[in-house]
Amino acid sequence: MRLLKKQQLAAKENLDKRVFLEGAAGTGKTTAAIERIKQLIRSGAPAGSILIIVPQATLAAPYHEALKRARVEGAGSVRAATLGGLAVEMLDLFWPLIAEEVGFARPTQRPHFLSLELAQYYMTRFIQPEIERYDLFNSVRIQPNRLYTQILDNLNKAALVGFPHDQIGARLKSAWAGDVEQAAIYDDAQRAADLFRDLCRQYNLLDFSLQVILFVQFLWRREPPRRYLTRRYRHLIVDNIEEDNPAAHDLIADWLPECDSALLIYDREGGFRRFLGADPDDGYRLKALCEVQLELDNDRVMSEEVAAFRYELGRSLGRRVPAEKPNAADARDAIRFADSRYLPQMLDWTADNVRRLIVDEGVSPKEIVILSALLPDALRFALQTRLSERGITSRTHRPSRALREEPAARALIALAKLAHPHWGMPAEKYDTIFALSAAIHDLDLARARLLVETGYKNNQLIPFAQIADPEIQNRVTFELGGRYERLRAWLARYQAGDPQPLDHFFSALFGDVLAQPGFGFHRSPDAAAATANLIDSAREFRQTVSRIEPDLAVAPEYVKMVDQGVIANLYLRDRDPKLRDAVLITPAYAFLMSNMPVDYQFWLNVGSSSWGQRLYQPLTHPYVLSRGWKPGRIWTDADEYATDQEMVYRIVSGLARRCRKRVYIGFSEIGEQGIEQRGAVLTAVQGMLRRLSREAAGV
C-alpha cells in the first residue's frame, strides 16, 4: 500500500516511540495504524504483544478485516479491546486479590458481571419498589426502562469521569437554575443511584460503573494485575481517543511510559459518543505525552464534489471555514435532493434510487448506506419492504432492536406458558393462535384460530382427535392436525416430567419439534437466530439470578420480565454472512461509529429535529457530568443551542467525510408524527442550495 510521507512517519518509522496522530476522518489515520502493526510484526514484535484499544468494538472492524487479510504472520491474532472488555477480563482473573478490600458484602464469592439487560432487571426488581415507596420521580413521564438507563448512566459517568457517585445529584443541581421540580428529580436520581450501588455491593453485582471503578482504581494500582497487562502488551495502538472517556484516557496516560511504543489516533471532528461519556477535550491532553506529534490533512475518501459539499454545508451551518474553498468543484454535483410532501414518497424515491444504482450502474450494495437520525421500527420495516419489492437485499443495524418482538421469540414464550401451567401465567388466546401459526408450517392464522377456539381450554391444548367438530378438523386438515398433535404431545410429555431450565426447554422444543420438517422454524435462519438469542438471554438470566436468589422461581420470573419489556429488549446481532453484501440501513450515529466509508449515502428525513438534538434525558446531563465542567456554572439555553448546532455540524461533516461519491438527501415536509419538519440539517441544505444558486448567477 502506498502511504503518504506523514503516514509513513507513523507506519514505518518511529516504531520505538509514542506517536500522536491527529486528523479528520478519511485522512488515512487508521490505514497508517494498520501498516504500523504489520511493520511491528515484521520487525520482530510478537502479534500477541500488540494491543489495539478502541472505545467500542465496532471501531475495531477495519483492523480485524485488514489484519486477517494481511500477508504477515500472526497479524490476524492481534487483539482489540475496549476499556470495558479489559475491565471484565482483569476482574475475572484478579478478583481474589482485591475482594477483601473493595467493600462488598460477599468478598469470598465470585462477582457477577451485569449486562445492561440484567442491570435493568435488578432495577425493576429491587429499585422500582423503593421508587414507589418513596414516590421518587413522580413528575417524570417516561418509560421505566429509560428511567433505569439514565440512573445507570449517571453511575457510569461518575466512574468514567472519576468523581464519587454520591455527588451525582449535587453536580446536576449546581448547573440547574430552573424550577424546583427538576432539582427534585436530580435528588431522586441521586437516591436511586445510591440504592442501586448498595444493592450491587450487597450481592457482588458488577455493573459497568463498578467494573470500571474496580479496574481503574484498584486493579490497575496493584502490581500483579498491572504487570500482567503491561508485560503482555508492549505496543499500544489507541484509535478514536476522542470517542473514549476520561477513565480510558487516564489508563493510557499511565500506560504510555511503560510500553515500548504507542500510536494514539485522534479525530479532530469526532466526539459523537459524548452522551456515552466520550470526552474529546480530555483525550487531547494525551498529545503532550507523546514524543512524536503528527497531523494528517489530505483527505483520501471524499470526491472533490463531496469535499465541496461538506465545505458549503459547514458555511450554511454558520461554521468558520477557511476563506479558500477546498477545490473548484460544485457542491451541488455531490448531492441529489428530493423534496417530498409525505414520508412514503421519500421512501419510494430512496428505494428507486438504490435500485437504479445497483441495477443500472452496477454499484455494489455494500457501497450504499441509508441513514437517518433515528431508526424506528416502522421506518425500518417500510424501507426494507420497498427494497425487497425491488429485489434489493438489505440489512439493518439498530442498537436496540427488541428480541421479544421477533415472531419466533414470541411463539416460544407462549409455548413456554402452555408447558408450565403451574406458573399461573396462562397464555393469552391471541398469543396461542400466533404461536401455533408460527410453530406449524402452513398453518395460517385463520386455521390456528379455529384450533384454539375449539381446542384450547384451561391453558391446555386438547388432542386433535378430541376436537368434536369434524368440520373443524377438515378445515384445519389432518396433515396440519398431525403436526399440531405432535407439538401438543411433546408439550404434554414435557409437563409430565420435571420442569427444566427455561433455556433448556427452548432448546429441546426447538430441536425436537419446531426445527423439524413440517414446522415453522425448519430451515428458517431468522427463527433459529432469534431462538438462539432468546436462549442466551434466558441462560444468562438463570445463571446469574439463581446464584443470587436461589429460592426464586427463575423461569416464570424471566417470562414475566419479557412480558414487561425489561428483558429480551435489547440488541440483536446481525450475523448472517449472506448479508455482508447488502445495503445497510442504520442510524447515523451507528454508521459514524463503524469507521467504514462508502460510495453512496442516503440521508433520510433531514427535516427531523433529531439530527443533532440531545435526547430528552431528565435525570442526567452529558456536559454537566463531564470532567471539563466547571463547578458552579449554570447550563443555559444558549449552551443547549450551541451544543446542538455543534453536534449537527459534526454529524453531517462526519458523514460527508465517510462518503466517496454522492449523498442523496431525502426530505418529507410532513414527518412521521404528521408534523411539518424544519430541522437544522434541512435548513442548512436549503440555505446552501439557494446561496450557491445566487453565487452561480452572480447575484
Partner 1 sequence: MTLPDDFSFSQTSLSDYADCPRRFELKYLLEQRYPAPIVAEQLELEHRIEQGARFHHLIHQHQIGIPPDLLTRHLDDDELLAWFALYLRSGLDDLPQVRYPEIALTVPLGDHALTAKFDLIAVDLGERAVIVDWKTGGRVPRADALAGRMQTVVYRYVLAKGGAHLNGGAPIPPERIEMRYWYAQGGESIRLPYSAAEYARDEAELRRLAAEIAARADFPLTEETRRCAFCIYRALCDRGDRAGSLAEWDGEGESDDLSGFTLDIEQIAEIAF
The answer to whether the Cα torsion of 377, 313, 362, 27 is positive or negative is: negative
d(CA 194, CA 198) in angstroms, rounded, equals 6
Q: Which of 85, 499, 556, 565 binds partner 1 (CB under 8 A)?
A: 85
Minimum distance between the CB of residue 209 and partner 1, rounded to whole angstroms?
Answer: 9
- Please, which residues bridge with residue 600 across strands? 368, 662
- Whether residue 355 contacts residue 584, with contact meaning beta carbons closer than 8 Å, is answered with no
Residues 578 to 597 in contact with partner 1, rule: CB under 8 A:
578
Q: Which of 9, 39, 46, 325 binds partner 1 (CB under 8 A)?
A: 46
Q: 322: which residues sit within 8 A by CB, 6+ positions away?
A: none
329-334 contacts, C-beta under 8 A, 24 or more apart: 329/303, 329/304, 329/305, 330/305, 330/692, 330/696, 331/305, 331/688, 331/692, 332/689, 332/692, 333/305, 333/308, 334/303, 334/305, 334/306, 334/308, 334/309, 334/661, 334/662, 334/663
Q: Which of 513, 567, 663, 688 binds partner 1 (CB under 8 A)?
A: 513
* The 3-state secondary structure of 74-115, one letter per residue: CHHHCEEECHHHHHHHHHHHHHHHHCCCCCCCCCCCCCEECC
Nearer to partner 1 among residue 115 and residue 645 (C-beta) = 115
Q: Which of 39, 82, 182, 643 binds partner 1 (CB under 8 A)?
A: 82
Q: Which stretch binds partner 1 (CB under 8 A): 179-187, 425-433, 446-454, 497-505?
A: 497-505
Q: Which of 500, 546, 610, 613 binds partner 1 (CB under 8 A)?
A: 500
Q: Which stretch binds partner 1 (CB under 8 A): 71-79, 172-180, 382-390, 559-567?
A: 71-79
Q: How many residues at the interface with partner 1, by CB under 8 A?
A: 74
Binding mask 227-246 for partner 1 (x = CB under 8 A): -x------------------
Should residue 435 be labelled a site residue for partner 1 when binding is judged by CB under 8 A? Answer: no
Q: Which of 156, 353, 432, 437 binds partner 1 (CB under 8 A)?
A: 156
Residues 461 to 490 in contact with partner 1, rule: CB under 8 A:
none
Q: Kind of pairing, strands 456-457 and 460-461? A: antiparallel
Nearer to partner 1 among residue 575 and residue 690 (C-beta) = 575
Residue 413, all three cell numbers: 414464550
Minimum distance between the CB of residue 540 and partner 1, rounded to whole angstroms?
Answer: 9
Q: Which of 97, 102, 142, 184 binds partner 1 (CB under 8 A)?
A: 97
Q: Which of 4, 8, 39, 115 binds partner 1 (CB under 8 A)?
A: 115
Should residue 88 be labelled a site residue for partner 1 when binding is judged by CB under 8 A? Answer: yes
Residue 30, all three cell numbers: 487508521
Minimum distance between the CB of residue 236 and partner 1, rounded to whole angstroms?
Answer: 18
Residues 528 to 567 in contact with partner 1, rule: CB under 8 A:
528-529, 531-532, 535-536, 539
Nearer to partner 1 among residue 120 and residue 668 (C-beta) = 120
Q: Which of 507, 595, 601, 653 binds partner 1 (CB under 8 A)?
A: 507
Nearer to partner 1 among residue 141 and residue 578 (C-beta) = 578
Q: Which of 2, 44, 424, 457 binds partner 1 (CB under 8 A)?
A: 44
Residues 159 to 218 in contact with partner 1, rule: CB under 8 A:
207-208, 211
Helices (H) and strands (E) in the chain, counts: 27, 16
Whose CA is closest to 375, among 363, 365, 383? Answer: 383
Amino acid code (one letter) for 300: R
Whose CA is closest to 156, among 169, 167, 165? Answer: 165
For 451-509, the DSSP string reads: HHHHHEETTEEPPGGG---HHHHHHH-HHHHHHHHHHHHHHHHHHHSPPPPHHHHHHHH
Should residue 108 be labelled a site residue for partner 1 when binding is judged by CB under 8 A? Answer: yes
Should residue 146 be labelled a site residue for partner 1 when binding is judged by CB under 8 A? Answer: no
